[in-house]
Structure 1
C-alpha cells in the first residue's frame, strides 16, 4: 500500500477495506511536469471490489444528505465516471460539466485561472431546471479552480450548489478554501 494515502475519516471502512482501496490509487512521479506527483484513481474502476468500496465510502462521506440535492454534476473527465456511478446509486440525475467547445447546444461558460494559464468549462444552458440543488463531484481537488468555475455556472443558471465532494484532496494547496462557504468533503487527503 502507498503509505502517504489514507482515508480522511477512518470510521467509513474497515482497516482492511481502507488499505485495499488506498492500494489501488496510483502515484506517478513527474507527470505532467517534473516535480509533480500525479494521483490516479482510475485503477479503482478496473477493480470490482475497489469500485464498490469507493462508492460505499464516497456515499458515507458526502457533505450533505441525498435528499438535500437533486442532481450530481461531474467535472470532466474523471468526475464523469464517479458522478454517473454515484447518481445511479442514489437515484439522481447527472450533469456533465464539460471543457469548452464540447457541447453542441446553447451553453453557459465560465473561465478560471490555472497555474499555467486559463481554462473554461461549460454546461448546457437549459438542461437543469432553475432552483435545482446540485452536488458537484470530482476525483481530485488541488487549487479548486475547476470546482469554483462549476459552482459559478450553476449559480448563473439559477441553481443552488448544495455541496462539493472529492475522492482526493491534495494537502497544502488549499483548494477547499475557495469553497469554504459550502459543505465539502474529500474522501482521501494526501501530500501534493
Structure 2
C-alpha cells in the first residue's frame, strides 16, 4: 500500500466534498453534522466515491471489508461487492444474533459499544474497515480492536470524511492504524 497516495485525487475529492451537506446544531447545539445522503442520492457522486475506494484497494490482496454501524453499512457492502470480497458488519451492541465480542468507546458527545461475531474473520485475514467519517476516532478504533482480537490484520481504515479538528485521525495514526479519507472538513 505504500505506493498508493494517502489522499484521493483532488478533483474527485472536491466533487464529493461539494455534495456533503452540513447541518448546524444537530444532534445537539454546537455540532456541525456532515450529512453524506446527498452524495448517496447523486448517481455520479456515488459512482465517483465507490470508484475512488475500488481503485485504492483493487490490488491490496484483501480478504474482507468490515463496515461500522450504521453508515459504514452503506459504502462497505458496495465496496466488498466491487472487489469480490465478503462484508463483515460491526454493529451496535445487542444487534448481532450469534456469539459476539464487544468493545466500548467514547464518541464526541456520548459513549457506545460495538460488537462483531466471533467467527466474522479468521486469523491472518486482511481487512479494510470503513465508515462515513472519522470524528473522535472512537468507533473506528473500537472496530479495529475487535478485528485484531479475532486475529485479522487491519490493512487500513477508510472513510469518506475526516474531521481532523476532533482528533480522530491523529488518534488512529498514533495507534498504528493507517487511514485513508476522501475529503476533510475543518471545525466541528
- TM more than 0.5: yes
1:143 Cα deviation from its structure 2 partner: 0.6
Question: Structure 1 unaligned runs (5+)?
Answer: 1-7
SS at match of 2:158: strand
Q: Is the 8 A contact 2:7 2:181 kept in 1?
A: no
Change in Cα spacing, 1:95 to 1:126, as seen in structure 2 (3 Å) is same
1:83-94 equivalences under 5 Å are: 83-94=76-87
User: Residues of 1 paired with 2:108 and 2:87: CA distance?
Assistant: 29
SS at match of 1:128: coil
SS at match of 2:166: coil
RMSD: 1.9
- In the alignment, which residue of structure 2 is the partner of 1:36? 31
- In the alignment, which residue of structure 2 is the partner of 1:183? 178
Change in Cα spacing, 1:90 to 1:25, as seen in structure 2 (3 Å) is same
1:74-89 equivalences under 5 Å are: 74-89=67-82
Aligned residues: 180
Q: Give TM-score, length-normalised by structure 1.
A: 0.85
Q: Is the 8 A contact 1:87 1:94 kept in 2?
A: yes
Question: Structure 2 unaligned runs (5+)?
Answer: 1-5
User: Residues of 2 paired with 1:148 and 1:18: CA distance?
Assistant: 24
